Structure 1
Amino acid sequence: MALDTTALKSAELCAGSAPGVAVEGRANIFEMTQEAEAAVLRPQDCGAWPHDLRAALAARIAMLNDDRALAAYYAEDAGDYAALADPSDEGAGQGLAPVLAFMDKVAADTRNVSAHDISGLQAAGIADADIVRLCELNAFLAYQLRVIAGLRLMKEVYE
């Protein structure tokens, strides 16, 4: 298996290294993770969130979680939304302030997310299906960031 998934590239694993060999034994997991990434970042039905905005949101979530390498990777596909990858941009200029506030809270203050946050998005005119899409994106990034962190720890221990 080539180490060419987003998670493996971000962790900078080398083929033949102890972590690289361990990962090759779990290739199916990384292939499924890559498929999940495609489903969340580049779905056929993107609803209100075009692919470049999703990339900007993914970069933003990575930045909020102090993963600059992953943020840079996603920011490459952010197009006109690239400025939103910076957590200091509140999104008011694009009419996305409620969305960014929600995404930031879910990414960085998860335990304090409440039904009120969802009703705030609904009050801003965001359809329930699009709220689910935002949650899916955030959930995937939370998973991916933790996988990458674990891989980096393995690399640190074994290399």
Structure 2
Amino acid sequence: MSIFETTTLDAAGITPGSPAGTAAETRANILDMGQAVEAAVLRPLYTGGLAHDLRAALAARIARLNGDEALALRYLDGAGDKAALADPAEPGEGREAVMLAFMDKVAARTRDVAAEDISALQAEGISDADIVKLCELNAFMAYQIRVIAGLRLMKGEAA
């Protein structure tokens, strides 16, 4: 895979031969590692209680919460039956509602996350391992969204 096919460069609209593309080529190893992390958090072999389609919907939701519709649409392709959860206005039901509230808070109001938020997930039967996976997904998305925003700025686009 070319680095220009990675989610990060593709979503940022970085093309080979462009000034930003030339700069990105000097950091190909970082882009390749970012793509590997994306695969690990969105499409792992062992999903636990978080199926691939749910992870994709959550990634799209986080992108939307951060104002990146282009990135959201890219992840929405893998959301399947869970696509409605990618809409930040969708509250979900039961277990998913608690999960969505947690993910929204971590993505948009990190400083407000408290022990009670973890307890609410556990009360819904979400395992500690899956709670860690939710946090990993949110952390990766925060990283990716910021890198994409920086690359867009390099192209002269508003962030």
Same fold, judged at TM 0.5 (above): yes
Aligned positions of 1:47-86 closer than 5 A? 47-86=48-87
Q: Cα offset for 1:115? A: 1.3
Question: Matches of 1:2 and 1:37 in 2, distance apart?
Answer: 14
Aligned positions of 1:5-154 closer than 5 A? 5-92=6-93, 95-154=95-154
Runs of 4+ in structure 1 over 3 Å off? none
Question: Matches of 1:11 and 1:145 in 2, distance apart?
Answer: 9
Q: State the Cα deviation string for residues 130-156 of structure 1 (Å, max 9, x = none).
A: 100100100100000000000000111
**Aligned residue identity for 1:84:** L
Comparing both chains, which one has the higher relative contact order based on Cα–Cα distances under 8 Å and sequence gaps of 6 or more?
1
In structure 1, the gaps of 5 or more residues are none
Q: Cα offset for 1:95? A: 3.9
Q: State the Cα deviation string for residues 104-143 of structure 1 (Å, max 9, x = none).
A: 0000101111111111111121110010010010010000
Question: Matches of 1:46 and 1:142 in 2, distance apart?
Answer: 21
Task: Please give the secondary structure, in 1, of the residue aligned with 2:156.
Answer: helix
Q: Cα offset for 1:2? A: 4.3
**Aligned residue identity for 1:39:** A
**Aligned residue identity for 2:10:** K
Task: Please give the secondary structure, in 2, of the residue aligned with 1:156.
Answer: coil
Identity of counterpart residues, as a percentage? 63
**Aligned residue identity for 2:100:** L
Q: State the Cα deviation string for residues 75-124 of structure 1 (Å, max 9, x = none).
A: 011000000000111111x7410000000000010111111111111112
In structure 2, the gaps of 5 or more residues are none
**Aligned residue identity for 1:116:** E
Question: Matches of 2:100 and 2:154 in 1, distance apart?
Answer: 33
Alpha carbon RMSD of aligned pairs, Å?
1.1
Task: Please give the secondary structure, in 2, of the residue aligned with 1:15.
Answer: coil
Question: Matches of 2:47 and 2:143 in 1, distance apart?
Answer: 20
**Aligned residue identity for 2:83:** A
Question: Matches of 2:41 and 2:3 in 1, distance apart?
Answer: 22
Task: Please give the secondary structure, in 2, of the residue aligned with 1:152.
Answer: helix
TM superposition score normalised by structure 1: 0.95
